[in-house]
Structure 1
């Protein structure tokens, strides 16, 4: 028996890194009965007669896992959004942030394609960037064309397992190619007919960039709060979490309760209106999901 880390999952095979070598493995048949699915990032125990004939015998305990993208033991999520093409979406970003916060994974926001902003769009996007920085998020502004922000991003990756995630067409693969040119990951321009990017990444794989491991993941634009409960949602908004102890009622949902510190901060302009509106929208979505399932 040997130990290793799954670096890639593709077509039913798992590629496990162990002692500097990659071993191609399959999962045990019993995993399906036990509803265990090995994920990229998993630490596993395996046995192998050769480099192409291994079997994963056990999946070690995970510190966290994501469903979409399917990956485990992540230290941080690099949430890549474009300033334009496709347009910067605070609603979609807040969805990503809630899902990442719920998993206790550190989010880092990257706003790519900054070079495409014009006099009309630049103040709008810069305003959003200022809002998220004020909340406490790290926000890095990047451009593949000008190479701006790339040197700033690299130190964040050192010694970490990072997942690059975001809507299709925002430039995730292009960013990774810029950080490590020998990767030559396939990229595609945005499809203007559909208004979203064409999918270019078809599987999850951990790749080495500097002293860190990075997952380039399939793009997606739909995210559902399957595992998040009503009482958990306020904790996924840092600016709400920081003020909750000032609310009159313990366990305040910041919806209809009187003397709510979050609503007071909203009225004072200390919390962006769109963030609070997204919160209300997400809360209704979670309530509707519960009604549907019960």
Structure 2
């Protein structure tokens, strides 16, 4: 029985890259998976059998280290959040939303500010990078046109299974084409009228890096709603999570509670006020979602 990695899933077929090399094998999944309510995912390490026709059957799925629902992918350890510095301009609210979801999913987030060549104010890029490096995030600035930062990003992702995410129109496909020689992903220009691009990726697929590791080309995170308890939101903000350990009361929501280390840190300038404002926006969303679940239990 062979062993391999599912690198693409499309129309009920799973394309498995054998560990011993060779061409990918088009496979179906055993019926027992459906009975058990299990769906093979891109990124799964699997065992499979090859039939006389050349097609295969996935017979076993190895335990997963991580699992995402949207996009559906397994065993990812790193999420690269791509946001252009211009055309469209960076939405820090959306970037923080992505960061919270990635943190709560247990993945390592990396921030990539793309289209460095289009930025008219270098200080704007420097300020954006400094804002997040001060929190402890790894930040890259890239230009697919000039090749700036692409080699460094490839080196950082070598040996990992990474997923790219970000708002539409930021040049994810263009960036991947610049990072991986010979890759020719479809790209579309940004809409002048709407100020954003269109998603060009329609299914999840793993793309091999030059040395080792894989990058998941996906349609993106299609759902960024919060389905957590209000007390858990702090876990998605690194600097708030650290400060919250010194709060006087357990279950502190860091708004107006006495002895709150987060609000104290905000007053002392240790916590970025914009990030804290975004925390409050997300907290209201979490509370509303919880109330909606209470009123309409499934």
Q: Give the secondary-structure state (helix, strand or coil) at the position aligned to 2:257.
A: coil
> In 1, distance between residues paired with 2:145 and 2:179?
13
What secondary structure is seen at the aligned counterpart in 1 of 2:99? helix
Match of 2:25 in 1: 23
Task: Tell which deviates more after alignment, 126-135 or 44-53.
Answer: 44-53
Contact 1:25 1:52 in 2 (8 A): no
Q: Give the TM-score taking structure 2 as reference length.
A: 0.91
Q: Residue 89 of structure 2 aligns with which residue?
A: 87
- After superposition, residues 1-294 of structure 1 pair within 5 angstroms as 1-18=1-18, 19-21=20-22, 22-50=24-52, 52-119=54-121, 122-210=122-210, 211-219=212-220, 222-226=223-227, 228-294=228-294
| Residue correspondences, number | 291
Partners of 1:114 and 1:50 lie apart in 2 by 52
Distance 2:245 2:206 in 1: 40
- Where 1:68 maps in the other structure, the secondary structure is coil
User: Displacement of 1:221 after TM fit?
Assistant: 6.5
Tell me which protein shows more strand as a share of its residues: 1
CA separation in 1, counterparts of 2:110 and 2:53?
A: 36
Q: Name the CA distance, whole Å, in 2 between partners of 1:252 and 1:182.
A: 52
1:24-75 superposed Cα distances (whole Å, 9 cap, x missing partner): 1112334334332211101122222047422222322211111222111012
- Per the normalisation by structure 1, the TM-score is 0.93
- CA 256–34 in structure 1, closer or farther in 2 if over 3 Å, else same: farther
Cα RMSD over matched residues? 1.8
Quick one: structure 1 residues 168 and 50, their matched pair in 2 at CA, closer, same or farther if it must change by over 3 Å? Answer: farther
Deviation at 1:3, TM superposition (A): 2.4
Q: For 1:259, what is the secondary structure of its paired residue?
A: coil
Structure 2: tracts of 5 or more residues without a match: none
Of the structure 1 ranges 185-194 and 138-147, higher mean CA displacement relative to structure 2 is found in 185-194
Structure 1, unaligned stretches of length 5 or more?
A: none
Distance of aligned partners of 1:51 and 1:146 in 2 relative to their CA distance in 1, 3 Å threshold: farther
The more displaced of 149-158 and 122-131 is 122-131
282 and 51 in structure 1: CA distance in 2 versus 1, 3 angstrom threshold: farther
Q: Secondary structure at the match of 1:174?
A: helix
Shift, 1:195, TM fit: 2.5
Distance 2:278 2:289 in 1: 16
Q: Distance in 1 between matches of 2:33 and 2:226?
A: 26
**Distance in structure 1 (CA, Å) of the matches to 2:256 and 2:63:** 40
Cα displacement (A) at 1:222: 5.0
